[in-house]
Amino acid sequence: MKVAILDDYQGVAQEFADWSKLNQSCDIKVFREPFDDETHAIENLKEFEALLIMRERTPITASLMDGCPNLKFIATSGMRNLSINFDHAKSKGIIVSGTEGNKNPTAELTWGILLNLARNLRQESENMYQGYWQTTVGVELKGKTLGITEYLAKKTKKKDVAMLIFNKNLSVSPLTTHLALKDVHKKITKHKIYTQVNLINKFYKTKFNKLPRIAITGLNPHCESNFKNSEEDRIIIPAIKKLRLKNNKINGPFPADTIFTKSLLKEYDVVIGMYHDQVLSPMKALFGFDAINITLGLPFIRISPDHGPNYSMLGKNLSDPKSLIQALKFLDK
């Protein structure tokens, strides 16, 4: 069997595994340099039956597979490689396999970078080789806040911020954001509801010169609980009553399974939910990615697409740019 090892630019592939059992039955060739283009890759790989891929540098596309008629097996370092067209490999009967290795490289590298930034490791290392001893003072990671929005809130000394997923037809705002469901009820307070409503009102008055019509969901199914003094009874209903006394256009609590019906939605500009997926899931079902994420309460605009990264789409031209386009248009207004 003819085996090609691709993108081994460090020359380490044959050191990481025991190849002795394959040396007698396989003709192994290592490609350390990248190919100029796909045509160049096919010219070099068309005779091989197996490709062992070290990285994602060489895209294993449908046309490359078609140009390698002997190809029967593809293996990649690790259990994930976005450069391989898995669907086409399956259609051609080509086996694709991953390998065990470091299962936490991204997390470990992230912590390494954080420690480097906190302790100025690179600068201090270079200084030490020049004969100097500790020219900077590092900081501890303990007690620091990790995350863009949380960092900005802390940096600007703003305790009260809110997430608004904005669409011109309907916006949603979760009272709690990236929090485990089991902890949500602990974070629901009257103060948080007051603050959220005030931030939303200020945004709509400033941006659109209007007082928004706001609906608030309950926490429990059907806004009911088997226990007395539920979150609705103790927190949500009293908060709504107090807000309505101050001429806010606000109603609720609504069961989350009915507030997103067409007949109710046309009556409101914003739906405040108790937790992230309670309002973001129906929002994406209704509008897809035609919305943007705005952080309210900062002394400046913090805006982004209304979704996180999807690494499974990386390099495949499948991502929907609609939310990014909407964010840029919003900033341009």
Question: What would the DSSP string read from start to end of 242-285?
Answer: HHHHTT--EEEEE-TTTTTSHHHHTT-SEEEESSHHHHHHHHHH
Model-wide pTM > 0.75: no
Distance CA 254, CA 246 (A): 20
pLDDT at residue 316, rounded to an integer: 66
Within 8 A by CB and 6+ apart from 132, the residues are none
Determine the pLDDT at residue 327.
Answer: 86
Which residue from 177, 205, 182, 197 is spatially nearest to 274, judged by alpha carbons?
177
- 165 pLDDT above the threshold of 80: yes
State how far the Cα of 236 lies from the Cα of 219, in Å rounded to an integer. 9
Is the bond into 238 cis (omega within 30 degrees of 0)? no
Which residues have C-beta within 8 Å of that of residue 177, sequence separation ≥ 6? 163, 276
> Which tops the pLDDT comparison, 78 or 242?
242
Question: Is 33:8 a contact under the CB 8 Å cutoff?
Answer: no
Q: Is the pLDDT at 100 greater than 90, yes or no?
A: no
Q: 255-281, pLDDT tens digit by residue?
A: 999 999 988 888 999 999 999 999 999
- Please report how the helices 190-208 and 237-245 are oriented relative to each other, as an axis angle in degrees rounded to 10: 40
Residue 151 has pLDDT above 80, yes or no: no
All structural domains of the chain, each given as residue ranges with its CATH number in brackets, are: 2-98 (3.40.50.720), 148-332 (3.40.718.10)
Q: 36-45, 99-108, 193-202, 221-230: which has the minimum mean pLDDT? A: 99-108
Q: What is the pLDDT of residue 324?
A: 86
Largest CA distance in the chain: 85
Q: What is the pLDDT of residues 170-201, one digit of tens each?
A: 999 999 988 889 999 999 999 999 999 999 99
User: Region 161-177: what's the mean pLDDT?
Assistant: 94
pLDDT band of 147, cuts 50, 70, 90: low
The arithmetic mean of pLDDT across residues 321-330, rounded, is 86
Instruction: Read off the pLDDT band of 107 (50, 70, 90).
Output: confident
Structure confidence by residue, pLDDT tens digits, 202-227: 999 999 999 999 999 999 998 887 66
Q: Which residue has the higher pLDDT, 227 or 74?
A: 74
Q: Please compute the mean of the pLDDT values over residues 86-113 and round it to a whole number.
A: 85
Output the pLDDT for position 178. 84
